[in-house]
Structure 1
């Protein structure tokens, strides 16, 4: 299933984006392909929604993959080091020829990687504490 996101997404719009992605994940069999090619503006709240959608997808054995990114989306994902989490090569939910235990480990690895990226971003964006 492909979800196309266009316009501007900031704190006020993040719940609408979250709802749309949750609905798309619930109705898709394998996951969601995100087309962010027409996204003009996105802030950290939109990024948090994308990361939460990826986490939810991993827990159900699905994927969230970005197929196109506008300069604004690319800048946000590159600056926060999250772009690789949404690439097809980073797909831990559907590895080929895995044992059942290995699939669970893959999902856990993906969830941990998402958490590490979120923590690194939080550390970079928080003011220093004396």
Structure 2
């Protein structure tokens, strides 16, 4: 088990945060769940380009990290939804400034990405 002092020794919390949100889709999943619970199909549509295998794994990871809750309604056909826990809500709220930064710098980032792609 990781202690709070070990987390600070490795980046003052940044390391712990990155361990939870590592993965291309996890920050987006958290962001989209800010508006309320979503079913798997909704999350799949919102995170365009993710494979079923990867989305399922990332949802399982977030649930294991206790930032996401999975509710199975035990119905036929199956109905399951995903929502943020209080810990997940605080993490999703912390992601919002990154979204704002990306929006505010989108034009410059597009130029940088185009230059980088041209060098490849």
TM-score by length of 2: 0.26
**Which structure carries more strand by proportion?**
1
Larger Rg: 2
